[in-house]
Structure 1
Amino acid sequence: MRAAVLKATIAELTQTGYAALTVEGVAQRAGVHKTTIYRNWEDSDCLVADALAGHFATDVPIPDTGAVESDLRALARSLVATMTTQAGRALLAIVLSDAVRLPRLAEIKHALFDDRFRRAEPVVTRAIERGELPSETDPAELLKALAAPIYFRLAFTGERVDEATADRAVQVVLAAAHARALPAV
C-alpha cells in the first residue's frame, strides 16, 4: 500500500502539480481510501515530502572511467536526464515554489541535494588523487558549479537542456578548477 501511494503521489505531482494535488486524487490513483493515507501521513505535505524523498533517493550512478572529464560528463548528463523527466520538472517546480517554506519539504530538499553531492564527491577526490585537478579543489564546490548552469536553464531561462548543455557545464567547471577557482569555502 505504501509503495502504491507514494507512486501515485509522484504521478499526481507530475500531472497536476503541487498546488493542485489532493489526497483524494492520490487515494483514487493508488486504489486506497483517503483515510488510509491520513492514517499513514499527517497531511499532504508530509505525503509529498516522503514521495519525493523516496523517488529521488535512488542511487546516483557514480562513474569511474579513469578520467575526470568523462566522469563529470556522465554525472552532468545523468542530471540532465533526471531533471528533464516529468518527475524531475515536478520536483523543480516544488523546490522553486513557496512549498519549500514548509519545514518538512525544506528538510527533504536539503537532504536530497546534500545526499547527491556526497555520493558524487568520490569522482572529484579520485581526480585529485590522480593529479587531474588541483589538490585544493573542493568537491562540493565543483559539483555545485557543475550543476548550476543546468539548473539555471531549467529554472530561470527555460532554455533547452540536453547533453550539449551537460558537456558545456563540464568544460566550464574543469576550466574553473584548473584556474584554482573552486577551493574550499
Structure 2
Amino acid sequence: MTPPRPAPAHRRGAAVHRAVLKATTELLATEGLAGTRIAEIAARAGVHETSVYRRWGTRTNLILEALSDRLDTELPLPDTGSTHEDLTTFFTALAGFLTTPTGQSLARLALAAADDEPQSVQLRNQFWTARLDRARILVQRGIDRGDLPPDSNPEFLLEALTGPLHLRIMQRDQPAGHAYVSRLVDLVLAGARSAPPDSHTRSNR
C-alpha cells in the first residue's frame, strides 16, 4: 500500500497559522490578556515557541491578528436597507463582544501603555484603522441612499458611535443593549443631518 503523501509545506504552514490564532483566542477567552503568553499559545497549538516568534515577532502582534480574525467573524456587516438599523445592529453586536473576556482583552490591549515597541504601536493603529475602514460601508450606504449628507465623514461618525460604547462598557461597567445603542445611533445620525455642510469636511482635522 502506498503511504499517503505529506501535505505541501504551504498547506502545513496554513494549518499551523490557524492553530496558533485559534489557541490565542481560546487563551484570551479563558485566561485574559495577562494569561495569554507565547509559551502557552505554542503549547496549545502544538508548535515551537520559536515558530511563533519567527512569524509574529511579538505577543502584541500575534494577539492583534488573532483578534482581527475573530472580530471579522463575530461582527458581520448587516445590510437591512436602513442606515439606522444597520448601525444599531452592528454596534449592538460590538457592545456584546466587548463584554466577553476576548473583547475585554481587546479593549485593554487598545489602551496598553505607550512604551510598547514602536512596531507594536504601529500595528495597533493599523488594526483600528482597518476596523474603521471595514465598517465605513455602513455609513457609505446611508450616504448613497440619501439618509446622510453627501459630504458626511464615515470615519468621524463611526468614532462618534464607538467612543461612548467603550466609555460605558469598559470604563463605567454599564450595559449597552439594543435600546441604548439605538438611542446613540439616533443622536449621531441627527447630528450628522443637522450639521452645517462645512462641518463634515472639518470633522477629521
- Which band: TM-score by shorter chain? 0.7 to 0.9
Contact 1:80 1:163 in 2 (8 A): no
Once the two structures are aligned, what percentage of the paired residues are identical? 34
TM-score by length of 1: 0.83
Tell me the distance in 2 between the aligned counterparts of 1:105 and 1:117. 19
Tell me the distance in 1 between the aligned counterparts of 2:120 and 2:70. 14
Q: CA RMSD of the aligned region, Å?
A: 2.6
Contact 2:64 2:127 in 1 (8 A): no
Quote the residue 2:26 is aligned against.
11
Quote the residue 2:62 is aligned against.
47
Quote the residue 1:172 is aligned against.
187
Contact 1:60 1:119 in 2 (8 A): no
Tell me the distance in 1 between the aligned counterparts of 2:53 and 2:131. 30
Letter in 2 for 1:164: A
Alignment of 1:63 with 2:78, yes or no, is yes
Contact 2:32 2:102 in 1 (8 A): no
Aligned-residue offset at 1:9: 1.6
Q: Deviations over 1:63-107 (max 9, x none)?
A: 332222112212222222332232111111111122783333323
Tell me the distance in 2 between the aligned counterparts of 1:170 and 1:4. 38
| Pairing 1:109-128 to 2, within 5 Å after superposition | 109-128=124-143
Contact 1:45 1:104 in 2 (8 A): no
Aligned-residue offset at 1:120: 2.4
Tell me the distance in 1 between the aligned counterparts of 2:38 and 2:155. 37
Moved more, 146-155 or 129-138: 129-138
Aligned-residue offset at 1:169: 1.5
Quote the residue 1:32 is aligned against.
47
Alignment of 1:89 with 2:104, yes or no, is yes
Aligned-residue offset at 1:173: 0.8
Which secondary structure state, in structure 2, belongs to the residue aligned with residue 54 of structure 1? helix
Q: How many residues align?
A: 185
Which secondary structure state, in structure 1, belongs to the residue aligned with residue 76 of structure 2? coil
Q: For structure 2, which runs of at least 5 residues remain unmatched after alignment?
A: 1-15
Q: For structure 1, which runs of at least 5 residues remain unmatched after alignment?
A: none
Quote the residue 1:183 is aligned against.
200
Structure 1 pair 42–63 and aligned structure 2 pair: CA distance change class (3 A): closer
Structure 1 pair 55–165 and aligned structure 2 pair: CA distance change class (3 A): same
| Pairing 1:133-172 to 2, within 5 Å after superposition | 133-172=148-187
Question: Runs of 4 or more off by more than 4 Å in structure 1?
Answer: 57-60
Structure 1 pair 149–43 and aligned structure 2 pair: CA distance change class (3 A): closer
Whose Rg is larger? 2
Contact 2:92 2:176 in 1 (8 A): no
Quote the residue 2:146 is aligned against.
131
Aligned-residue offset at 1:159: 0.9
TM-score by length of 2: 0.76
